[in-house]
Amino acid sequence: MTDEALLASIRRHEERLAKDPVSLAFAQLADLYRKAGRTADAIALCREGLVRYPQYTTARLILAKALLAEGRLDEVAAEAATMLETTPKDVQCLRLASDVERRRGNIDGAADHLEKIVKLDPGDREARALLGLLRADPQAAESTGLARVLRDDTFATLTFGATCLEQGCLEEAAAVYTRLLRKDPDNSGAREGLEQTLRARSRRKG
């Protein structure tokens, strides 16, 4: 959707909601706000609507995505937990929960959610691939030179992770960062390094 089309859609939904302030259309408008970068407006609209419709999972998911865009991880985690209490098999909610746990440095928690996704949808290749990265065990890796290096905690450093990332060795970079995060989930450098690795992986896939 082009910027012009997005703005036109926002205007239409604003007019619709103005005519019927208690309709469920608030969620669609909030999602459009989020896509337009108006995350504060999206959050405010969702919170207001959820007072009337607390079980509206779609609106809560949009709220969580807007909060995630602002980096408000604890609030996202709370929303994800609320959704999963009522819809424990919702793949979108599980994916969101995995994302927020990974960004908080809780690698095993993120992987647990991905395992549930894979069990619910064995054909979800993205979840399976990401799970493989987070659960990778250098001790069980093939005996390549780099794999042998990764078995030594001496090389589990931010510097080595950055080197792997710069050289395009994304699986190895992920292995370094996840090992660091299992030791210290608050390691901000490792958290950012892992996110950079995943973004690079996404770009490589095209």
The helix/strand/coil state of 31 is helix
pLDDT score recorded for residue 145: 56
The Cα–Cα gap between 18 and 167 comes to 53
Please tell me the least confidently modeled range out of 22-26, 145-149, 177-181.
Answer: 145-149
- Residue pLDDT, tens place only, 124-155: 999 999 999 998 754 444 545 565 666 667 77
Query: Is CATH 3.30.230.10 correct for 81-135?
Result: no
What does the domain layout of the chain look like in residue ranges?
1-70, 81-135, 138-201
- d(CA 198, CA 153) in angstroms, rounded, equals 22
User: Element (H or E) spanning 97, and its range?
Assistant: helix 91-103
Query: H helices then E strands: how many in the chain?
Result: 12, 0
Residue entry with tokens 């250098």: 138
List, in sequence order, every beta strand (DSSP E) within 74-140: none
**Rounded to whole angstroms, how far apart are CA atoms 57 and 63?**
10
CATH 1.25.40.10 fits 1-70, yes or no: yes
**Fold agreement (1-70, 81-135):** yes
